[in-house]
């Protein structure tokens, strides 16, 4: 046996490792330009305000950044949160911590919140962002999967869990807007979660990375902290919100985000981060602070996503019954009926799209788990609308032509230039 921690063996292969294995023996059509729609990696241009500020601040690469984050960055993050979510206050000194993107922070927060006697469960939606599950397993806790079903608007019903399950919870992962379904938790739903957290003594970890990609400019998604403030809880007790510039500002490579919320949780967590957290380089923090102060590029970003959803849904909506999500950048598409064999319907559909359309999408089962024989992601694929509107429309046209042709007929490509 390898001389490593046994819990490493408990971590499942990451979804994209599984996707590579699924497609390893498939040869896509050589006459079609590949279109990558599996990874939620924005391809829109980085905002000029970020690039210009970064160019002016390069000398700061010669200094170590603090783990908590610079005062200017934390002040900018707090100001953005107060303005965006109508918060009565947010103290950048005690209620905000910088993080290198939210992925690493969403993982490490579980290590800070697990380990109390009798509190061995981590509640998470099913389907889910894989970091939640991995964080629970590495922390030595047990993931408790709560189905996010279409008949319930893809919102998990945590309030329906037995009291004995809720009593064993140490934290609950919430994703709003949700990856992969795009479901948005409204004020009533968030307030219900806060009440449950109080009653059963656990912390709410709200992943809000997609909060700035939404279709209606007049109806932005709520934050968990916004719901707490509406309940008169200016200390944001038991509430943590995680935000990133990756999706809001098309900066996945900058690795810059922040955590905001309950100071009594963030203080001890910061101690852990001084040992194991990833600090954000100071030039990145300076550029990120300037970018948080600019909304012009964010509004344009939303308009670009609206155009892409409109183009794709015009084709795939009537064909597959898929609807626009409440928010986010993903389409959660039901796989068409077919002979999947030993694979899930989503896996079979993903292979077919790659083999015949040169499209890469992610099988839903790679973001979900079967519980009591039911896997809420098995019949879906996730399509990330990260390419241009023209490329997204082209992808939809390829799917339309594929499904219109008899299965025994060789593919018939559509759209100029493939």
List, for residues 127-165, the tens digit of each pLDDT value: 999 999 999 999 999 999 999 999 999 999 999 999 999
CA distance 92 to 72: 9
User: According to the model, what pLDDT value does residue 1 have?
Assistant: 65
The listed CATH number (3.40.640.10, 3.40.50.150, 3.50.50.60, 3.40.50.720) that belongs to domain 48-293: 3.40.640.10
Strands 257-261 and 359-360: unpaired
Do residues 204 and 294 make contact, with C-beta atoms less than 8 angstroms apart?
A: no
Q: Once rounded to an integer, what is the mean pLDDT over residues 396-402?
A: 97
For 339-348, write each residue's pLDDT tens digit.
767 799 999 9
- Dmax (CA) for the chain in angstroms is 64
Residues making up the chain, counted from first to last: 418
Choosing among 3.40.50.1110, 3.90.1150.10, 3.40.190.10, 1.10.1740.10, the CATH entry for 6-44+297-404 is 3.90.1150.10
Q: What is the pLDDT of residues 330-385, one digit of tens each?
A: 999 999 977 767 799 999 999 999 999 999 999 999 999 999 999 999 999 999 99
CA atoms of 253 and 54, how far apart (whole Å): 13
Structure tokens at 272: 């852990």
pLDDT band at 415 (very low <50, low <70, confident <90, very high): very low
pLDDT at 238: 98
Distance CA 21, CA 43 (A): 25
- The pLDDT score that the predictor gives to residue 413 is 36
**Average pLDDT of the residues of the chain:** 95
Residue 410: predicted pLDDT: 46
CB 178 within 8 A of CB 154: yes
Beta strands in 138-222 (DSSP E): 142-147, 169-175, 203-207
């Amino acid at each position: 046996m390898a001389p490593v921690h046994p819990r490493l063996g408990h971590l499942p292969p990451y979804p994209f490792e599984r996707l590579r294995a699924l497609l390893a023996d498939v040869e896509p059509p050589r006459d079609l330009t590949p279109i990558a729609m599996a990874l939620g990696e924005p391809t829109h241009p980085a905002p000029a305000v970020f690039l210009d500020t970064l160019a002016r601040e390069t000398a700061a690469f010669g200094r170590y950044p603090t783990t908590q984050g610079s005062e200017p960055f934390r002040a900018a993050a707090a100001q953005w949160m107060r303005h965006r979510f109508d918060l009565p206050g947010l103290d950048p000194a005690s209620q905000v911590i910088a993080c290198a993107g939210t992925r690493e922070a969403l993982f490490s927060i579980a290590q800070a919140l697990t380990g109390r006697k009798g509190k061995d469960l981590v509640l998470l939606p099913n389907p889910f962002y894989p970091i939640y599950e991995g964080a629970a397993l590495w922390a030595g806790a047990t993931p408790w999967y709560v189905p996010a079903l279409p008949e319930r608007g893809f919102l998990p019903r945590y309030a329906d869990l037995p009291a004995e399950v809720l009593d064993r919870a140490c934290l609950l992962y919430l994703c709003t807007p949700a990856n992969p379904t795009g479901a948005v938790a409204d004020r009533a739903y968030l307030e219900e979660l806060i009440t449950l957290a109080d009653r059963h003594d656990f912390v709410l970890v709200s992943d809000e990375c997609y909060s700035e990609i939404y279709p209606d400019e007049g109806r932005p998604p709520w934050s968990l902290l916004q719901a707490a403030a509406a309940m008169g809880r200016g200390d944001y007790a038991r509430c943590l919100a995680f935000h990133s510039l990756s999706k809001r500002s098309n900066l996945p490579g900058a690795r810059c985000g922040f955590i905001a919320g309950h100071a009594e949780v963030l203080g001890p967590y910061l101690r852990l981060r001084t040992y194991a957290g990833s600090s954000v380089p100071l030039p990145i923090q300076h550029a990120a602070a300037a970018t948080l102060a600019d909304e012009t590029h964010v509004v344009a970003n939303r308009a670009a996503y609206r155009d892409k959803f409109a183009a794709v849904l015009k084709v795939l909506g009537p064909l597959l019954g898929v609807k626009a999500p409440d928010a986010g950048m993903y389409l959660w598409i039901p796989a068409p009926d077919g002979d999947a064999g030993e694979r899930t319907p989503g896996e079979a559909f993903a292979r077919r799209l790659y083999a015949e359309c040169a499209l890469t999408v992610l099988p839903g089962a790679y973001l979900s788990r079967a519980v009591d024989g039911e896997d809420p992601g098995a019949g879906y694929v996730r399509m990330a609308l990260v390419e241009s509107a023209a490329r997204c429309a082209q992808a939809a046209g390829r799917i339309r032509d594929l499904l219109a042709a008899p299965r025994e007929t060789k593919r018939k490509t559509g759209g100029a230039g493939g």
